[in-house]
Amino acid sequence: MANNPRALVATAISVAPVETSMGTFDTINSDWLTVQIYNASSSQILDCHLRLSARQDTTAQTLPTAISEFLGLTNIQPLESRCVDVQVGGVRLIEVVGTASGVGLTATIAVNNKAER
């Protein structure tokens, strides 16, 4: 189920060494979304990427996108925070997915609807 982007503030998520969903957000009325990710591990690296769906159906599958590499969401070092702005005009759903370099990584994610239509 999609979350309201304004409702997710500093939520701790356990991230596994396989792709782990950190949240799916409905962005139909948004132009920009701010995503902040903090790697709370003192020893592991966190790789994150975005999956998008432009379909109007909120049950639509999200698909990988290459923009994550350009946003700087990969290779988040221990105790490092990254904050990115994502233009989401025309996108219905955005999913943040993370992969830990080992077991037991906890990350904190905060998402804010920066510009609402």
**Predicted confidence (pLDDT) per residue in 32-78, tens digit:** 888 999 999 999 999 998 888 776 666 666 766 656 556 778 999 99
Architecture of domain 5-116: Sandwich (2.60)
Residue whose token pair is 């950190």:
22
Whether the model clears a pTM of 0.85, i.e. scores above it, the answer is no
Half-sphere exposure of 115 (CA within 13 A, CB side): 7
- Give 2's DSSP letter: P
Dihedral sign, CA of 68, 69, 71, 75? positive
Assign 109 to helix, strand or coil: strand
- The whole-chain average pLDDT of the chain stands at 83
Nearest to 96 by CA among 5, 23, 15: 23
Task: Compute CA distances 93 → 5, 46, 104, whole Å.
Answer: 11, 22, 28
